[in-house]
Structure 1
């Protein structure tokens, strides 16, 4: 996510917090959060809230402690006011709403991190967003590798072919450096995949090459290990050339933090959240 968008979203979310700064309990209102998360219609957003309530209950937490039905008065153009139903939300409730939203929407991705962290410092949010992006990229790589393995097995009927083809692809991406040599360079344990220690850009590069190979195997009806290997090597070499044009040399990039550690840290933060947030009290029942 680009820094200017992070700055914009951070300022917008902080503005909502300041609206309720006079109350003892930190809370958000669902109708304020709705447009922030990219939902134009309340009816659609309400469905996400219902899913979040179900997640709250499934986790063993009291829904009423985190989702409180409220009524607030809104001004009409005529100068009169009318009552509108709303929902007061704790940080944990907002986190669950974000988790049940569409992660492809950048405001949702931002909110997942913003509400997961107890701190609201922008630099820490930026760091966690970068970690989340890397985790998502790794999951996508796993999916494209699984698809490639399946397609190769369908075509060749031999389980070891995928490992050989992937290895040749890695060698093309890393300028002749083998997967094993890259693991040694980056200090990757032998029992762990190289991709768990690669930076986001390299993970995405591998995934992109896989996607092209998957597409072309089917398009060109490739049915031999030699043909598929040549296709995969070419795609990785092309991706390497694209990176090189931008001054990026994959085999020279330093190792990134172990993704398993990041995943455990994010999971621990999510589990800790309902225990550390305040429950809604009577002061936050109304606006």
Structure 2
């Protein structure tokens, strides 16, 4: 496929994408029909039907990706009439491309276009999740550092920090820190939090902040 054709098709697909008020990207099926080289709506609806079956087969809710809507179109002399249309998510467009006629140049392009775009989204989503986890982990490190310094200041012994943190883990997980590390297969020289999901890291951080608050507010002086 020539470079200029690829560039033209790419621009056309992006130009026809729209966004709902809640930020969900979508295409109208009537627009996609033209982009994919289908002259008859009835023929394109057959492809959509097969795509819905594919959607269900992958365990996805069809209505989440194929939403029936009505759209007003001009029919001449300034008059309009309502026609059936479908709002399609990017995933729905991908399925339609996969179920389309592979002999069509537009279909061949769309199959690769939506597959690549889906992969880009997955990469971006993973990076965001990794960033959120890193932020949570760094926040927990700061909270634990504050607690460690506070415990040493008020009890005169930094050994108490490990004991108190283990008791905190037991309250949070029902197991001591070491028991949790054994359960998750955490190496001896690594921290438990390095192997926890983001939401659990945040829970540990919140529990640590509560301990810091109580230690300051109530002036705790010993481990117990």
Structure of greater Rg: 2
Structure with the largest fraction of strand: 2
Provide closer, same or farther for how the CA distance between residues 120 and 31 of structure 1 changes in structure 2, counting only shifts above 3 A. Answer: farther
Q: How many residues align?
A: 119
Q: Normalised by the size of structure 1, how large is the TM-score?
A: 0.40
Q: Which residue of 2 aligns with 1:167?
A: none
Secondary structure class of the residue paired with 1:76: strand
Secondary structure class of the residue paired with 2:5: helix
Runs of 4+ displaced beyond 4 Å: none
Deviations 1:37-61 (A, max 9, x none): 0100000000000000000011111
Mapped to 2, the partners of 1:60 and 1:78 lie a distance apart of 46
Q: Which residue of 2 aligns with 1:2?
A: 2
Mapped to 2, the partners of 1:115 and 1:69 lie a distance apart of 21
Q: Which residue of 1 aligns with 2:44?
A: 45
Residues 72, 85 of structure 1: 8 Å contact kept: yes
How many angstroms does 1:119 deviate by? 6.8
Residues 37, 106 of structure 2: 8 Å contact kept: yes
How many angstroms does 1:103 deviate by? 1.4
Residues 26, 91 of structure 1: 8 Å contact kept: yes
Does residue 99 of structure 2 align to residue 100 of structure 1? Answer: yes
How many angstroms does 1:35 deviate by? 1.1
Mapped to 2, the partners of 1:82 and 1:4 lie a distance apart of 36
- RMSD, matched Cα: 1.8
Residues 114, 120 of structure 1: 8 Å contact kept: no
Does residue 108 of structure 2 align to residue 109 of structure 1? Answer: yes
Mapped to 2, the partners of 1:117 and 1:27 lie a distance apart of 17
How many angstroms does 1:84 deviate by? 0.7
Residues 26, 90 of structure 1: 8 Å contact kept: yes
Mapped to 2, the partners of 1:6 and 1:43 lie a distance apart of 27
Secondary structure class of the residue paired with 1:74: strand
The runs of 5 or more residues in structure 1 that have no matched partner are 122-287
The runs of 5 or more residues in structure 2 that have no matched partner are 121-224
Mapped to 2, the partners of 1:120 and 1:22 lie a distance apart of 22
Q: Which residue of 1 aligns with 2:85?
A: 86
Provide closer, same or farther for how the CA distance between residues 88 and 22 of structure 1 changes in structure 2, counting only shifts above 3 A. Answer: closer
Q: Which residue of 1 aligns with 2:11?
A: 11
Mapped to 2, the partners of 1:119 and 1:62 lie a distance apart of 18
Deviations 1:209-260 (A, max 9, x none): xxxxxxxxxxxxxxxxxxxxxxxxxxxxxxxxxxxxxxxxxxxxxxxxxxxx
Deviations 1:122-158 (A, max 9, x none): xxxxxxxxxxxxxxxxxxxxxxxxxxxxxxxxxxxxx
Q: Normalised by the size of structure 2, how large is the TM-score?
A: 0.50
Mapped to 1, the partners of 2:20 and 2:49 lie a distance apart of 28
